[in-house]
Amino acid sequence: MFIFIMKKKTILLRISTLLLVFGYAASIFAAVDAYAEEDILTITQNAGYETSDYYKPKASIVIEAHTGQVLWEDNPDLAWNPASIAKLMSAYLVFEAIAQGKFTLDTTVKATDSDQAISQIYELSNNNIVSGVDYPVRDLLYAVMVQSSNVATVMLANLVTANDEAKFIHMMNDKAKELGMTKSTFYNCSGADTASFNGYYNPAGIDQNADNVSTARDLAILSYHLLKEYPETVTYTSPTQITIMENTPYAEVLENHNYSLPGLAYGYEGADGLKTGSSPTGGFNYAATAVRGETRLIEVILGVGDWEDQNGELQRHAFGNAIFDRAFSTYEYKQLLAKGEQTIDQEDVILTQDLYGVIQKETQPNFTLSANQVTFDNGLSQVSSTISAPSVEFQYAKKLKALQHSTFLKNANQKNGLSTFFVNGLLIILGLLFMALSKLFKKEPAAGSAKKFNPLLILGVLLALAGVGLSIYTLIVGPWL
């Protein structure tokens, strides 16, 4: 009976232990699921911002700026009107034209009567433009990126295409395809439909009433390429306030609507761009970038609140700051492997350069050798199939060292061969020289006396024969040195 009771207790103990283990595992999975399902509204509220479901963005995404890997996404492929964020594509084409040498930042654009008329349309975001005045490209870029000026955008677009308004729209769409923005279509250069320009801006053959269409993913791809290829972009997106046309009668102070810039209402550490946008059909939108240490992030927030409630202009920054915080606290971009010898998958390899990548903090990635590339899996996807995941080339250490040794021997043999032929030739030349000297210093023997031994002649003959013999040996056998 005692034994039966003990066995029963043992069985109950094991069952209890198993239940505890399963319960613990279930709680872990539940926590993971809760973390995964935590939406942007909850994240923002937990970060201390006062907001509500009314302002919840329709779509959002965060990517790492060096690698283009997605750190957060919520409905990233929703088709949406990006409003003035479209100006980023116009800026891209301006920077591209500068890089191609078509004009410079100091090139001036003479304002037309139409430009002045556009600048006075109250419903559009603008800066002051006076007909006949020359405006430097640099100042117009500040007006576009800081003030979100529609007229400055039109002036730059016309500069790029020599006043072919429709051509610029086609360039925007062609560039979108080239960059991998698969769900974007542009109908205007600034984010405001062309009908709102009162006829002063009217690209031929383009629907005047159509809104630009893009997605959070596509706008993140655009921002990625803009910062990667033209990092000077942040020069024009980071000022909270700037004066253009200084020291002229047309000087004007511009105010930035990106309230997440340090020093403004929702100032965020490291924020230095990119662009805000709002419209009746798009609500309040926000494309942002911020850098901390080696890590730079890009985010896009679309569809915050409603155009009728201007509080959405501030709320978009609360959501943006909150998911930036989440990403910065979770991930980091850093050097993962140093150039040179490494051991990966139990193989000794030599990396051609340092490997950098983004990983979750306090974790170590698993590296893989594939073809001639070192890659790693961090569980993150690329924002676009056109952007490759981080990798570096490598060579197997044994093969490389064998190749280097073989090359060394080959080079050594070549050097030895040249040295050998040089010595062989030198021996022959010395031999001939001694034979010539032997004749020069030859003394005629006295009458009736025997011929004297001539050491110079003998030495010369021996040296010449040695040189010839060694040359034949080198040609048949190889270098003797």
Residue 350 has pLDDT above 60, yes or no: yes
Average pLDDT, the chain: 87
Residues 338 and 318 in one domain: no
DSSP single-letter state for residue 196: G
- The residue type of 440 is L
Instruction: Quote the pLDDT of residue 33.
Output: 38
Between CA 57 and CA 62 the distance in angstroms is 13
Residues 150 and 112 in one domain: yes
Between CA 428 and CA 175 the distance in angstroms is 72
Average pLDDT over every residue of 109-119: 98
Of the residues 56, 60, 84, 184, only one is catalytic, namely 84
Q: CATH no. for residue 275? A: 3.40.710.10
Our count of domains for the chain comes to 3
- Judged by average pLDDT, the poorest of 194-198, 261-265, 284-288, 475-479 is 475-479
Between CA 94 and CA 163 the distance in angstroms is 14
Residues 178 and 310 in one domain: yes
In sequence order, what are the residues at sequence separation of 6 or more whose Cβ sits closer than 8 angstroms to the Cβ of residue 457?
A: 434, 435, 438, 439
The 10s digit of each residue's pLDDT in 434-460 is 777 777 766 665 555 556 667 777 777
What Rg do the C-alpha atoms of the chain give, in angstroms?
A: 38
DSSP string across 53-73: GGG--SEEEEEETTT-BEEEE
In sequence order, what are the residues at sequence separation of 6 or more whose Cβ sits closer than 8 angstroms to the Cβ of residue 202?
A: 165, 194, 208
To the question of whether residue 275 is assigned a binding role by annotation, the answer is: yes
Residues 209 and 119 in one domain: yes
The 10s digit of each residue's pLDDT in 68-83 is 999 999 999 999 999 9
135 phi and psi, to 5 degrees? Answer: -115, 120
Residues 343 and 249 in one domain: no
* 148 belongs to the catalytic site: yes
Residue 333 has pLDDT above 60, yes or no: yes
439 phi and psi, to 5 degrees? Answer: -75, -35
In Å, how far from its chain's centre is CA 203? 33
The 10s digit of each residue's pLDDT in 391-447 is 999 888 765 454 444 444 444 455 566 677 678 788 788 878 777 777 776 666 555
Query: Domain of 272?
Result: 53-333
* 84 belongs to the catalytic site: yes
The 10s digit of each residue's pLDDT in 278-330 is 999 999 999 999 999 999 999 999 999 998 899 999 999 999 999 999 999 99
Q: Which residues in 68-105 are b (16+ Cβ under 10 Å) and which e?
A: bbbbbbbbbebebbbbbbbbbbbbbbbbebbeeeebee
Between CA 214 and CA 185 the distance in angstroms is 7
Handedness of CA 407, 408, 413, 416 (dihedral sign): positive
* 87 belongs to the catalytic site: yes
Inside any domain, residue 347? yes
Between CA 189 and CA 207 the distance in angstroms is 13
Between CA 19 and CA 5 the distance in angstroms is 21
Of the residues 114, 119, 125, 148, only one is catalytic, namely 148
Inside any domain, residue 46? no
Residues 468 and 390 in one domain: no
Of the residues 56, 87, 90, 175, only one is catalytic, namely 87
Rounded to the nearest 10 degrees, the angle between the axes of helix 137-145 and helix 87-99 is 160
Residues 165 and 214 in one domain: yes
Instruction: Quote the pLDDT of residue 16.
Output: 43
